[in-house]
Amino acid sequence: MSKIQQAQDIFSAIVHAPFGAVGVRTAGGLVTEMFYLPASAGEKAPTDPVAERAAEQVLRYCADADFPFDLPLARVGSEYQRRVWDELCSIPRGQVRTYGELAKHLGSVARAVGQACRANAFPLVVPCHRVTGTQGLGGFAGDDNQTGFTLSVKRWLLAHEGHREYAWQQATLL
Protein backbone atom coordinates (compact mmCIF):
# COMPACT_ATOMS: atom_id res chain seq x y z
CA MET A 1 0.00 0.00 0.00
CA SER A 2 1.40 3.41 -0.96
CA LYS A 3 1.92 6.20 1.57
CA ILE A 4 -0.75 8.24 -0.21
CA GLN A 5 -3.26 5.39 0.15
CA GLN A 6 -2.31 4.98 3.82
CA ALA A 7 -2.94 8.70 4.37
CA GLN A 8 -6.30 8.41 2.67
CA ASP A 9 -7.22 5.52 4.96
CA ILE A 10 -6.18 6.95 8.34
CA PHE A 11 -7.54 10.49 8.05
CA SER A 12 -11.13 11.66 8.27
CA ALA A 13 -10.21 14.57 5.97
CA ILE A 14 -7.15 15.87 4.15
CA VAL A 15 -7.24 19.55 3.31
CA HIS A 16 -4.84 21.23 0.90
CA ALA A 17 -3.19 24.33 2.32
CA PRO A 18 -0.65 26.80 0.92
CA PHE A 19 2.14 24.98 2.80
CA GLY A 20 1.07 21.42 1.89
CA ALA A 21 -1.89 19.71 3.49
CA VAL A 22 -3.51 19.07 6.86
CA GLY A 23 -4.69 15.62 7.82
CA VAL A 24 -7.54 15.52 10.32
CA ARG A 25 -8.53 12.52 12.42
CA THR A 26 -11.86 12.38 14.23
CA ALA A 27 -13.66 9.96 16.53
CA GLY A 28 -16.71 10.19 18.73
CA GLY A 29 -17.61 13.69 17.56
CA LEU A 30 -14.16 15.10 18.41
CA VAL A 31 -11.03 16.04 16.50
CA THR A 32 -8.45 13.59 17.85
CA GLU A 33 -5.37 14.69 15.86
CA MET A 34 -4.18 17.00 13.11
CA PHE A 35 -1.02 16.48 11.06
CA TYR A 36 0.96 18.54 8.59
CA LEU A 37 1.37 16.59 5.37
CA PRO A 38 3.11 17.30 2.08
CA ALA A 39 0.82 18.31 -0.80
CA SER A 40 1.46 14.90 -2.38
CA ALA A 41 -0.81 13.36 0.28
CA GLY A 42 -3.79 14.26 -1.89
CA GLU A 43 -7.08 15.64 -0.69
CA LYS A 44 -9.76 13.60 1.04
CA ALA A 45 -13.33 14.77 1.44
CA PRO A 46 -14.52 14.86 5.05
CA THR A 47 -16.08 11.63 6.24
CA ASP A 48 -18.14 13.08 9.10
CA PRO A 49 -19.55 16.43 10.30
CA VAL A 50 -16.64 17.14 12.69
CA ALA A 51 -14.09 16.48 9.93
CA GLU A 52 -16.10 18.77 7.65
CA ARG A 53 -16.08 21.50 10.28
CA ALA A 54 -12.33 21.09 10.81
CA ALA A 55 -11.63 21.17 7.07
CA GLU A 56 -13.68 24.35 6.68
CA GLN A 57 -11.87 26.01 9.58
CA VAL A 58 -8.42 25.07 8.25
CA LEU A 59 -9.30 26.75 4.95
CA ARG A 60 -10.72 29.81 6.70
CA TYR A 61 -7.54 30.17 8.78
CA CYS A 62 -5.39 29.85 5.64
CA ALA A 63 -7.38 32.69 4.10
CA ASP A 64 -7.42 34.84 7.25
CA ALA A 65 -4.82 34.48 10.01
CA ASP A 66 -7.23 36.14 12.45
CA PHE A 67 -9.81 33.37 12.05
CA PRO A 68 -10.44 31.81 15.49
CA PHE A 69 -10.64 28.02 15.55
CA ASP A 70 -13.66 26.60 17.33
CA LEU A 71 -13.36 22.83 17.17
CA PRO A 72 -14.28 20.08 19.62
CA LEU A 73 -10.83 18.78 20.52
CA ALA A 74 -10.25 15.47 22.28
CA ARG A 75 -8.78 15.92 25.73
CA VAL A 76 -5.30 14.50 25.36
CA GLY A 77 -1.93 14.93 27.05
CA SER A 78 -0.74 15.19 30.60
CA GLU A 79 -1.70 18.00 32.95
CA TYR A 80 1.67 19.66 32.30
CA GLN A 81 1.29 19.38 28.52
CA ARG A 82 -2.16 20.96 28.70
CA ARG A 83 -0.72 23.85 30.77
CA VAL A 84 1.89 24.42 28.07
CA TRP A 85 -0.75 24.23 25.33
CA ASP A 86 -2.93 26.74 27.17
CA GLU A 87 0.07 29.10 27.24
CA LEU A 88 0.59 28.59 23.49
CA CYS A 89 -2.98 29.66 22.87
CA SER A 90 -2.34 32.88 24.81
CA ILE A 91 0.50 34.00 22.50
CA PRO A 92 -0.99 36.69 20.24
CA ARG A 93 -0.94 36.21 16.47
CA GLY A 94 2.20 37.79 14.98
CA GLN A 95 4.24 37.26 18.15
CA VAL A 96 6.50 34.50 19.38
CA ARG A 97 7.87 33.35 22.72
CA THR A 98 10.98 31.27 23.29
CA TYR A 99 10.91 27.87 24.91
CA GLY A 100 12.83 29.43 27.80
CA GLU A 101 10.35 32.29 28.26
CA LEU A 102 7.45 29.84 28.43
CA ALA A 103 9.39 27.60 30.79
CA LYS A 104 10.15 30.49 33.15
CA HIS A 105 6.49 31.52 33.13
CA LEU A 106 5.43 27.94 33.91
CA GLY A 107 8.17 27.31 36.49
CA SER A 108 9.65 24.64 34.26
CA VAL A 109 12.57 24.07 31.89
CA ALA A 110 12.83 24.77 28.16
CA ARG A 111 13.33 21.10 27.21
CA ALA A 112 10.04 20.13 28.89
CA VAL A 113 8.23 22.91 27.02
CA GLY A 114 9.75 21.66 23.76
CA GLN A 115 8.61 18.11 24.49
CA ALA A 116 5.08 19.34 25.21
CA CYS A 117 5.10 21.27 21.92
CA ARG A 118 6.24 18.13 20.10
CA ALA A 119 3.37 16.16 21.69
CA ASN A 120 0.76 18.73 20.57
CA ALA A 121 -1.90 16.79 18.65
CA PHE A 122 -3.48 19.95 17.21
CA PRO A 123 -0.54 22.08 15.97
CA LEU A 124 -2.59 24.43 13.82
CA VAL A 125 -5.24 25.04 16.48
CA VAL A 126 -2.84 25.08 19.45
CA PRO A 127 -0.17 27.30 17.85
CA CYS A 128 3.14 25.71 18.80
CA HIS A 129 4.63 27.40 15.73
CA ARG A 130 4.67 30.57 17.86
CA VAL A 131 7.45 29.12 20.03
CA THR A 132 11.04 29.57 18.89
CA GLY A 133 14.54 28.93 20.17
CA THR A 134 16.71 31.73 21.48
CA GLN A 135 18.93 31.44 18.39
CA GLY A 136 16.19 31.18 15.75
CA LEU A 137 13.27 28.99 14.77
CA GLY A 138 14.11 26.02 16.92
CA GLY A 139 12.49 22.72 16.04
CA PHE A 140 8.94 22.06 14.95
CA ALA A 141 6.82 18.94 15.05
CA GLY A 142 9.91 16.85 15.76
CA ASP A 143 11.97 18.46 12.98
CA ASP A 144 15.16 19.84 14.49
CA ASN A 145 17.44 19.97 11.43
CA GLN A 146 16.31 23.44 10.24
CA THR A 147 15.74 22.28 6.65
CA GLY A 148 12.81 19.89 6.82
CA PHE A 149 9.23 20.09 5.63
CA THR A 150 7.67 20.98 8.97
CA LEU A 151 10.04 23.90 9.47
CA SER A 152 8.92 25.27 6.11
CA VAL A 153 5.36 24.99 7.47
CA LYS A 154 6.42 26.88 10.62
CA ARG A 155 7.98 29.63 8.51
CA TRP A 156 4.81 29.91 6.40
CA LEU A 157 2.55 30.05 9.47
CA LEU A 158 4.63 32.76 11.14
CA ALA A 159 4.70 34.79 7.93
CA HIS A 160 0.96 34.26 7.42
CA GLU A 161 0.31 35.56 10.92
CA GLY A 162 2.39 38.66 10.21
CA HIS A 163 5.44 37.95 12.35
CA ARG A 164 7.89 40.67 11.32
CA GLU A 165 10.90 38.38 10.93
CA TYR A 166 9.08 35.99 8.60
CA ALA A 167 6.59 38.21 6.78
CA TRP A 168 9.09 39.02 4.00
CA GLN A 169 9.44 35.30 3.30
CA GLN A 170 5.76 34.62 2.71
CA ALA A 171 5.83 35.40 -1.02
CA THR A 172 8.69 32.96 -1.59
CA LEU A 173 7.00 30.19 0.41
CA LEU A 174 3.73 30.14 -1.52
Residue 36's nearest CA partner among 124, 114, 115, 145 is 124
Rounded Cα gap, residues 20 and 39, in angstroms: 4
Cα atoms in the 13 Å half-sphere on the side-chain side of 14: 19
Give the pLDDT score at 6: 61
Side chain identity at 170, as an amino acid letter?
Q
| SS3 state of residue 146 | coil
Residue 144's contacts (CB-CB under 8 Å, 6 or more residues apart) are 138
Label residue 133 by pLDDT band (50, 70, 90).
Answer: confident
pTM of the entire structure?
0.84
> Is there a contact between 15 and 25 (Cβ–Cβ < 8 Å)?
no
Q: What is the pLDDT of residues 54-89, one digit of tens each?
A: 999 999 999 999 999 999 999 999 999 999 999 999
What secondary structure letter does DSSP report for 66? T
Domains identified in the chain and CATH numbers: 3-63 (no CATH), 79-173 (1.10.10.10)
Q: How far is CA 122 from CA 109, 139, 142, in A?
A: 22, 16, 14
Taking all residues of the chain, what is their mean pLDDT, rounded to a whole number?
85
**Residue 128 designated active-site:** yes
Label residue 5 by pLDDT band (50, 70, 90).
Answer: low
Q: What own/partner pairs with CB < 8 Å and gap ≥ 24 does 133-138 have? A: 133/98, 133/99, 134/98, 134/99, 134/100, 138/98, 138/99, 138/114
Q: Exactly one of 62, 89, 117, 128 is catalytic; name it.
A: 128
Residue 173's contacts (CB-CB under 8 Å, 6 or more residues apart) are 18, 19, 152, 155, 156, 159
Give the pLDDT score at 164: 64
* pLDDT at 91 exceeding the cut of 70: yes
